[in-house]
Structure formats: C-alpha cells, structure tokens
Amino acid sequence: DIQMTQSPSSLSASVGDRVTITCQASQDISNNLNWYQQKPGKAPQLLIYDASDLQAGVPSRFSGSGSGTDFTFTITSLQPQDIATYYCQQYDAFPRTFGQGTKVDIK
Amino acid sequence: EDQLLESGGHVVQPGGSLRLSCAASGFSFSTYAMNWVRQAPGRGLEWMSTISGSGASTYYADSVKGRFTISRDNSKNTLYLQMSSLRGEDTAVYFCTKDKFRLIRSPFESWGQGTLVIVSS
C-alpha cells in the first residue's frame, strides 16, 4: 500500500498568513494527488486535484504543487473561514490512501 | 448539481449486519465510479471501496474485504454497501462519493453528508 505522510499534524496561524502543508508518498504517484478540506461536522470538499489543479469554485488563495513523492499545499492568505482539517489523498493505486490530516486554526 | 444522500446508518451489535444506501441525482449515475469512505469518531478519512460505473469492477480495503460488499443499481441511481460481521472498529460516519472523471484514476469530486454506523452491544 502507498503510505501518505502529511505534516504538520496541526498548525496555528494568523489571518493573512501564508500556510504550507506537505505530503509525502511512500512511492512515486506521478501527479495523482488530491487535497480536501473538511470543516467540523461536514463532509470533505475537494480543493485541488492532479496535484495542482484548482477545483471549480474554490478560491485562488488555495494552491498545490509537486509530483512524484513530494507535494505541497498552500493557502496564500489565511482567512477565518479556512479553519478546517486538510487531507491529502493519492489515487494512483488501490487502496486509495489519505494522509492523517492537518488541523488548521487561527492564532 | 450532484446530490448524494446516504441512509441506513444505525446502532448494530458486534457480529451483526447492515446495509447502507446512497441515492444519487443530478448526474449520469451509471457512467461514474462510486466509492465509500469512512471516518471513525475523531479520526481521519479511510477509503473503503470503489465500484465501476457498470458494476463489473470492485475494489476493497483489506480491513473490510470479505465482510463488506459494494454494489449499485443503475436503474435506481443508488449505491449500496452491505456490511456484515461488524466490529467495534467499524463504528464511523460512512460517506458516499462520486468520482470526478470517467477514468480509473479520479478524485472524489462529490460527497454525501454521511450516515453514522455504531457497532455496540
């Protein structure tokens, strides 16, 4: 199985800060990586697919990069409504696997 | 707009069985693969199973292989998850998801609101 190692597990930042989350795959997954946002009590929402493509309707302050085994998710200017847990997920192979999540809150 | 509505979550005893349903609307159901993803209380997301649009191909996580069966009825636009030999560690919110692309590799574009399964005596 492909292991997804996401870091940090949590972070606290101020409104307007740049926030970066990393995700490392245990083997080459090309660009077959997604990022999801999950707010408390809600279903996850797809933000980024194919490592760097922005899902329709998602604000441009969210972005993704990387390929192979190393990936980065960035919020360029953190907003109060971005408080959530973020997950990376590979879809290069079955079983599909998620990172353990990064909980983002406001300092 | 894609709509997914799960149902069937319940409290069930260990060793028991349960069938979850996911009613889909707003898209051509039979042309997209569908998935089940679960989330134990306070934990992360865990992929459970995928079924192709035709239903001919299915995939399972090792943790549920042989105990859970994914299926679909394209005439009813409904996805199912038959769960048997349930264990305490199967306690979770179960989400139904729709693939974004009509490809073997695809993100989970749309999610239902989830249905809660509690396995407890």
Backbone angles phi, psi at B34, to 5 degrees: -130, 160
Instruction: Give CA–CA dist A72/A56, Å, rounded.
Output: 19
Whether the CB of B80 is below 8 Å from some CB of chain A: the reply is no
Examine the pLDDT at B82 and tell me if it is beyond 90: yes
Stretch B107-111: mean pLDDT, rounded? Answer: 97
Q: pLDDT at position B104, please?
A: 82
Whether the CB of B114 is below 8 Å from some CB of chain A: the reply is yes
Instruction: Give CA–CA dist A88/A72, Å, rounded.
Output: 9
Q: pLDDT at position B32, please?
A: 96
Q: Which of A43, A50, A101 sits opposite B44 (nearest CB)?
A: A101
- Interface contact A46-B45, CB threshold 8 A: no
Residues B102 and B73: beta-carbon distance below 8 Å = no
Residues B23 and B84: beta-carbon distance below 8 Å = no
Q: How confident is the model at residue B102 (pLDDT cuts 50, 70, 90)?
A: confident
> Which residues of chain B make contact with A36, given a CB cutoff of 8 A?
45, 108
Q: Give the model confidence (pLDDT) of B21-76 as tens digits.
A: 999 999 999 999 999 999 999 999 999 999 999 999 999 999 999 999 999 999 99
Q: Give the model confidence (pLDDT) of A17-73 as tens digits.
A: 999 999 999 999 999 999 999 999 999 999 999 999 999 999 999 999 999 999 999
**Closest-CA residue in chain A for B115?**
A43
